[in-house]
């Protein structure tokens, strides 16, 4: 067992990392530049925190494993369990999604509630200490074997610099991690990076949901998902989401793609809702009460720091979460990736030892084996747009055509829908999309649809989702 571990960053990735480190070190210190409140509130250090979040099933299971009682904590505070197949009105590219249940139900809640639950449950581990309002200004390394031995800190209220010794430093400071500069200050070249940027942007406003008497009986939906119109003009590359969360509130987000950024002012935001592919979202929101300004986020590029290829041997230093690999948040993979990689860190510590000199390379190799799955899903979707910057993989166009056919098939074929849901929830690898049995079902559906002449029933702007009985 090691003596001291230091985690840089108190967001979800840092909390998950601290949880597994608590089993392998006598003391774990979490350094966070912001205040970490006891209450469930937004934090400036989580710019994505005010926007819609997706709790994938894999992430829900991993968080419950890391923090026993996580599910009970969030459900007691109003998190919702909904089925995306029967509780959401979903407009896909060519039609409304047929209202049939998915085999998975999901948690719908705010990001502050997720982080608040993790902070509360981490507090049960008495060997974990949180130092808030403290900035990391550099790493400390020994001169002889070049091993990271601590961090240099400075309190945000002012005061002098101090050094905190550590047997292991874990960077969980997110997209804005300064690890490249810290490493260069030690005379170490940082790892190479891959960036894929589709120039997405979010604008979000929160609403108090209307009371039941203001909700028409025929409006069966609890949430709304409107895909962008990929076949339309560039101005149609906007998506709309209404996601319910605790407190009988709605998180309403407009997502713009390929530099089609949504408005950031209140009047512009409300007008943009009415320009989405269906009026359903604007007409639902018209019955609700706005309770926030419009929040925006433009830091949505995919960024992969390739620590697994890093030629440098630097014992005592690891990177997790967005500090290692950040995804376009529109795909909802970040929280799940943070929890999964924390579990992989725990396995590496148990197998190799907390003080093993080769722990970083062993962990980075294990971590990348998982990260490539959500990376391929996120960047593959972003590369659909010609304006996306990055190195394009081979066979992109035929793969996109196949994926279009697969999601068409999932509207009618519940086996295909189940496999697609498993992959999107990171319960199966993306290779499951291309398994022979799945490909055969997709091909049969495509041929049958062409024979029936039903493949292109593009939804009209004023179309409404049918209140079909759940199968």
Helix, strand, or coil (residue 93)? coil
Question: Is 66 a domain residue?
Answer: no
pLDDT digits 0-9 by tens, 190-217: 999 999 999 999 999 999 999 999 999 9
pLDDT value of residue 469:
40
The total number of structural domains in the chain stands at 3
Which of 278, 297, 316 is where one domain is finished?
Answer: 297
Which of 142-146, 158-162, 328-332, 445-449 has the weakest average pLDDT?
142-146
Instruction: Give the residue-averaged pLDDT of 432-454.
Output: 88
Q: Please check whether residue 321 is in contact with residue 11, taking contact to mean a CB–CB distance below 8 angstroms.
A: yes
Alpha-carbon torsion 289, 295, 301, 304, what sign?
negative
pLDDT value of residue 94:
78
pLDDT score of 157 more than 90: no
Instruction: Give the residue-averaged pLDDT of 51-64.
Output: 93
Nearest-CA neighbor of 258 among 223, 228, 296, 288?
Answer: 228
Which strands make up the sheet holding 161-165, listed edge to edge? Answer: 134-141, 148-155, 161-165
Examine the domain organization and report whether 134 and 206 are in the same domain: no
Examine the domain organization and report whether 103 and 226 are in the same domain: yes
Which pair of structure tokens corresponds to residue 338? 């943070």
Question: Is 153 a domain residue?
Answer: yes
pLDDT value of residue 145:
66
pLDDT score of 49 more than 70: no
CA distance 463 to 376: 33
> Which residues, at least 6 apart from 49, have a Cβ–Cβ distance to it below 8 Å?
42, 43, 110, 111, 112, 115
Question: Is 467 a domain residue?
Answer: no
pLDDT score of 151 more than 60: yes
Q: Residue 285: phi, psi to the nearest 5?
A: -65, -30
Examine the domain organization and report whether 131 and 165 are in the same domain: yes
pLDDT value of residue 47:
53
CA distance 354 to 110: 34
Examine the domain organization and report whether 130 and 141 are in the same domain: yes
pLDDT digits 0-9 by tens, 244-289: 999 999 999 999 999 999 999 999 999 999 999 999 999 999 999 9
pLDDT score of 177 more than 50: yes
pLDDT value of residue 471:
35
CA distance 346 to 340: 10
Query: Virtual CA dihedral for 440, 443, 449, 451, nearest 10 degrees?
Result: -100
How would you label 234-257 residue by residue, b for 16+ Cβ within 10 Å and e otherwise?
eeebbbbbbbbbbbebbbbbbbbb
pLDDT value of residue 143:
73
Instruction: Give the residue-averaged pLDDT of 399-406.
Output: 92
CATH code assigned at 136? 3.50.50.60
Examine the domain organization and report whether 211 and 293 are in the same domain: yes
Which domain range does residue 416 map to? 396-452
Which of 5-9, 101-105, 116-120, 169-173 has the weakest average pLDDT?
101-105
Query: Virtual CA dihedral for 435, 437, 443, 445, nearest 10 degrees?
Result: -120
Question: Is 50 a domain residue?
Answer: no
Examine the domain organization and report whether 311 and 423 are in the same domain: no
Question: Across the chain, what does the average pLDDT equal?
Answer: 91
CATH code assigned at 258? 3.30.9
pLDDT score of 461 more than 70: no
Examine the domain organization and report whether 183 and 307 are in the same domain: yes
Which of 297, 324, 356 is where one domain is finished?
Answer: 297
pLDDT confidence of 368, banded at 50, 70, 90?
very high
Nearest-CA neighbor of 148 among 318, 319, 316, 353?
Answer: 316
The percent of residues above 70 in pLDDT, for the chain, comes to 93
DSSP per residue over 329-364, as a string?
GGG--HHHHHHHHHHHHHHHHHHH-TT-TTHHHHHH
CA distance 279 to 444: 34
pLDDT value of residue 454:
55
> Which residues, at least 6 apart from 444, have a Cβ–Cβ distance to it below 8 Å?
none
Which of 36-45, 70-79, 251-260 has the weakest average pLDDT?
36-45
Question: Is 463 a domain residue?
Answer: no
Examine the domain organization and report whether 273 and 319 are in the same domain: no
Examine the domain organization and report whether 179 and 320 are in the same domain: yes
pLDDT digits 0-9 by tens, 376-399: 999 999 999 989 999 998 888 899
CA distance 262 to 198: 14
How many CA atoms within 13 Å lie on the side-chain side of 285? Answer: 28
Examine the domain organization and report whether 345 and 436 are in the same domain: no
pLDDT value of residue 156:
81
Examine the domain organization and report whether 240 and 356 are in the same domain: no
pLDDT value of residue 231:
79
Q: Please check whether residue 128 is in contact with residue 6, taking contact to mean a CB–CB distance below 8 angstroms.
A: no
Instruction: Give the residue-averaged pLDDT of 426-431.
Output: 95
Question: Is 60 a domain residue?
Answer: no
Question: Is 237 a domain residue?
Answer: yes
Which of 297, 323, 353 is where one domain is finished?
Answer: 297
Examine the domain organization and report whether 204 and 83 are in the same domain: yes
Question: Is 444 a domain residue?
Answer: yes
Helix pair angle (334-352, 359-382), 10° resolution: 160
């Amino acid at each position: 067992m090691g003596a001291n571990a230091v985690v840089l960053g108190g967001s979800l990735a840092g909390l998950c990392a601290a949880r597994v480190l608590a089993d392998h070190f006598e003391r774990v210190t979490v350094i966070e530049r912001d205040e970490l409140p006891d209450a469930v509130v937004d934090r400036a250090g989580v710019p994505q925190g005010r926007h819609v979040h997706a709790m994938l099933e894999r992430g829900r299971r991993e968080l419950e494993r890391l923090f026993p009682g996580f599910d009970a904590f969030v459900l007691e505070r109003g998190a919702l369990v909904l089925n995306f197949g029967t509780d959401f009105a979903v407009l896909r590219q060519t039609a409304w999604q047929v209202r049939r249940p998915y085999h998975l139900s999901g948690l719908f809640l705010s990001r502050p509630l997720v982080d608040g639950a993790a902070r509360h449950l981490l507090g049960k581990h008495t060997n974990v200490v949180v130092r808030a309002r403290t900035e990391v200004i550099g790493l400390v390394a020994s001169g002889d074997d070049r091993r990271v031995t601590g961090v240099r800190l400075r309190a945000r209220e002012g005061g002098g610099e101090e050094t905190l010794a550590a047997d292991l430093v874990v960077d969980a400071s997110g997209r804005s991690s300064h690890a490249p500069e810290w490493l260069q200050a030690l005379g170490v070249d940082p790892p190479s990076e891959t960036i894929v940027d589709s120039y997405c942007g979010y604008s979000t406003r929160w609403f108090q949901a209307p009371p039941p008497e203001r909700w028409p009986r025929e409006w069966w939906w609890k949430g709304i998902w409107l895909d962008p119109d990929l076949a339309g003009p560039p101005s149609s590359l906007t998506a709309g989401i209404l996601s319910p969360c605790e407190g009988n509130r709605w998180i309403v987000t407009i997502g713009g793609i390929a530099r089609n950024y949504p408005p950031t002012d209140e009047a512009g935001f409300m007008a943009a809702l009415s320009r989405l592919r269906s009026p359903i979202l604007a007409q639902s929101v018209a019955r609700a009460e706005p309770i926030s300004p419009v929040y925006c986020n433009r830091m949505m590029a995919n960024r992969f720091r390739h620590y697994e290829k890093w030629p440098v041997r630097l014992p005592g230093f690891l990177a997790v979460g967005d500090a290692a690999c950040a995804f376009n948040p529109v795909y909802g993979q970040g929280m799940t990736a943070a929890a999964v990689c924390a579990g992989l860190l725990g396995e590496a510590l148990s197998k190799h030892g907390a003080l093993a000199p080769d722990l970083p390379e062993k962990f980075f190799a294990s971590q990348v084996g998982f990260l490539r799955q959500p990376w391929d899903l996120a960047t593959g979707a972003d590369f659909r747009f010609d304006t996306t910057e990055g190195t394009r993989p081979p066979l992109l166009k035929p793969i996109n055509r196949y994926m279009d056919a697969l999601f068409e098939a999932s509207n009618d074929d519940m086996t295909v829908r189940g496999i697609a849901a498993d992959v999107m929830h990171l319960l199966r690898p993306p290779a499951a999309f291309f398994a022979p049995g799945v490909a055969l079902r997709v091909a049969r559906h495509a041929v049958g649809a062409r024979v029936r002449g039903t493949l292109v029933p593009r939804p009209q702007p004023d179309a409404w989702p049918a209140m079909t009985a759940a199968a």
